[in-house]
Structure 1
Amino acid sequence: MSYEPTIGVYFSANDVVYDWAIAFLNSYRTFNPDLRLILIPFNDQCDRLLKLSDTYQFEIYTDSSFSRLEAIGKAFELGHTPTGPYWFRRYASFWGTLDYFMYLDVRQVVLANLLPFIEAVRNLEFDFLHYDCAVDQVYERGAFRQELLKQGRGRGFLSGIWASYKGLFSLEEFEQLAQEALKIRDQLNPRNTDQAFINYCCDMKSVRYGHFAEVIGGICQNGWARQPGKIYWENEKYYLWDYGGLDHKKQIFLLHWAGYKLNALMPHKQLFYKSFLMNKQIFSWLFIYLNFALDYLKHIPVQSLRRQRFFNTRYHKIAKIVSQNFIIQ
């Protein structure tokens, strides 16, 4: 199948998330063998990852605007996520080589042909389409959020899965919006800097945005791995079995593990390993699953403690004190 060369997908990664990237790339090329794919390097630590470009047929996009985008990120950073400014590089996609595109983080596996989700922006005349929403991960409780919600804005969408088109924002426009957003920094999530930023930009510009599931229909409302139900394969597509749930028997086009570390306790791990181990020899499978079992035994006691209110509360109190001391220094 041939695709328009100006339609495709951007993704961001580095060598730190190499294993995640392998699973992502395998799954992407399984369902999108010819759709253009472009890497936005997360930072300079990408030597291993760049060697995969021929195998998975992805291009590398670098731009002089990266440093200015990182400067915006640094201005929003409160000391919680030292690597946070690098996430802002993804927004160079608005003046990149693709006219219509989707942006994806690599801590996910692709489970469907993505072209219809990109073309929906153009064909349905939207400016921006997003997926999962969690307003508390974007805006703090308060008057600013309440006013946005009264105006039908403030959806609080995830910044790791979205589709848009070239030219919706310019670098200069981002810098101007950043100056305005910094005036209400206390009304934005303290940790998710790039997520709060792009939501603020879309809300202040009154971008015509919508949710993939609501606009297209027939797909799950969320792609987060922790959602209830079981994922199954039928008629060349993945669906969610959640009897009695709103997404029962709806298609799931990707699955993401935002907020999760790569270990044996993450939900739906079998889908990750299916993509990660693709094309590997049987010895690799045995080795990985042995490590998988050992990893499970190592983490299960810690996970058990984390779920107990007594230990969890004290852990977060200590973490808060450490974080405050870090910011003061």
Structure 2
Amino acid sequence: MPGTRGVYFVANDHVLELATVFLSSFRHNNPDIPLRLIPFDADHHRIAALGERYGFTVWEDRDLLARCDEISLSFHDLPKGHFRKLAAWAGEFDEFLYIDSDTAVLANIDFAFDRLAGYGFLTATSHLPGRAWKDSIEESGKLTPEQYGYRANTGFVASRKGTLTFAGITSALPAAREVAPHMKLGYEQPFLNYLMVTSGHRYTSLQHLRTTTGDRSIPGEVFAWTPGVEAKDGGIVHPADPPTLMVHWTEPVKPTRQAPEDVPLYDLWRYYRDLRAVT
């Protein structure tokens, strides 16, 4: 009997407008797959109220979220809600996707579960120069070139329940703290990269599979600031690139923090902000 599949996202009321774009676009292209909100912090009542409209449930295990907060304190002075995505590996779905809420999802995500076969972790994008690690990691001897070269964006991760465990994460913390001086600490990204590449499981990305196999049909992640990308009718126009899986408004461009004329692909963001949810 096949296991359950579902999608997690992390958000709170502070990013309500961003998350609404994520929810609207996701449900437009994925009307049926289970979706669950992992609260970024206690301030999530307004977004939780959208559950019926967009068809998602809310993570209820506060003890597990508190453990994620505790792990974040190994690297930061205050709890960082970004680390709560670690809860996904102990959640209800046997196979899952985690997707950041500052994205617009422009395709059906079912294909990603098929691409996960043979891997413990599948991200959308990897081998990104300057991501996750400082240059000093190369001379540290703490990771191999293959491991630190992975440099994945952790805004989209496909995996399976139990591939990471809290016991394993806890036991990895002492070694991870030794590597922390070489991490670009801001969010959970370098630590999650560390966990993936030292887990003993195989890891890859949609981008890497597309590059190494030559299969241009594999959809990709587009960062909103990518030159030459244009939006049209809720989609992306960029003939030189593969089909677009999702658009990601990473720093330094956030639609809710800048004037519209300064936000790349603002028309796409506004399209899904104003689109009624699929019911």
| Alignment match of 1:207 (pick from 201, 211, 234) | 201
Aligned-pair CA distance for 1:61:
1.3
Match of 1:275 in 2: 272
Match in the other structure for 2:52: 54
Q: Give the C-alpha shift of residue 187 in structure 1.
A: 1.1
Superposition pairs of residues 246-261 of structure 1, within 5 angstroms: 248-259=240-251, 260-261=253-254
1:141 pairs with 2:135: yes
1:75 aligns with 2:68: no
CA distance 1:48–1:143, change in 2 (3 Å): closer
Deviations 1:47-73 (A, max 9, x none): 111111111110111322211111110
Aligned partner of 1:107 in structure 2 is: 102
Q: Which runs of 5+ in 1 are unaligned?
A: 243-247, 281-329
Structure 1 residue 126 and structure 2 residue 122: aligned? Answer: no
Q: How much has 1:132 moved relative to structure 2? A: 2.6
CA RMSD of aligned residues (A): 2.3
Cα 1:252–1:201 shift into 2, 3 Å: same
> Contact between 2:164 and 2:199, CA under 8 Å: does it hold in 1?
no
Task: Report the Cα distance in structure 1 between the residues aligned to 2:226 and 2:138, rounded to whole angstroms.
Answer: 29
Q: Which residue of 1 aligns with 2:42?
A: 44
Per-residue CA shift, 1:251-305, capped at 9, x if unaligned?
011001011232311111111000001139xxxxxxxxxxxxxxxxxxxxxxxxx
Unaligned runs of 5+ residues in structure 2 are none
Deviations 1:75-124 (A, max 9, x none): 201x5xx5x62111111110100011110111111100011113321xx3
Report the Cα offset of residue 207 of structure 1.
2.5
Task: State the Cα distance separating 1:232 from its structure 2 match.
Answer: 5.5
2:120 maps to a residue whose letter is D
Structure 2 CA distance, aligned partners of 1:89 and 1:25? 19
Task: Give the CA deviation at 1:191.
Answer: 2.1
Bigger shift: 194-203 or 63-72?
Answer: 63-72
Deviation at 1:145, TM superposition (A): 6.3
Identity, in percent, stands at: 25
- Relative distance call for 1:231 and 1:126 in structure 2 (3 A) is farther
Q: Which residue of 2 aligns with 1:65?
A: 64
Q: CA deviation at 1:169?
A: 0.8
Is the CA contact (8 Å cut-off) linking 2:120 and 2:203 kept in structure 1?
yes
Q: Counterpart of 2:130 in 1: which secondary structure?
A: helix
Residue of structure 2 equivalent to 1:24: 22
Secondary structure of the corresponding residue to residue 80 of structure 2: helix
Structure 2 CA distance for aligned equivalents of residues 112 and 222 of structure 1: 11
1:189 is the counterpart of 2:181: no
Structure showing greater radius of gyration is 1
Shift in Å, 1:221: 5.1
SS of 2:98's equivalent? Answer: strand
Cα distance in 1, alignment partners of residues 218 and 267 from structure 2: 21
The answer (yes or no) to whether the contact 1:238–1:253 under 8 Å persists in 2 is no
- CA distance, structure 1, for counterparts of residue 193 and residue 138 of structure 2: 13
Equivalent position SS for 1:102: strand
Distance 1:75 1:150, change over 3 A: closer
Choose between structure 1 and 2: higher helix proportion.
1
What is the DSSP-based 3-state SS (H/G/I as helix, E as strand, rest coil) of the residue aligned with 1:75?
A: coil
Structure 1 letter corresponding to 2:226: Q
1:11 and 1:66 map into 2 onto residues whose CA distance is 14
Task: Note the C-alpha offset of 1:213.
Answer: 2.8
Query: Residue 227 and residue 146 in structure 1: after superposition, are their counterparts in 2 closer, same or farther (change >3 A)?
Result: farther
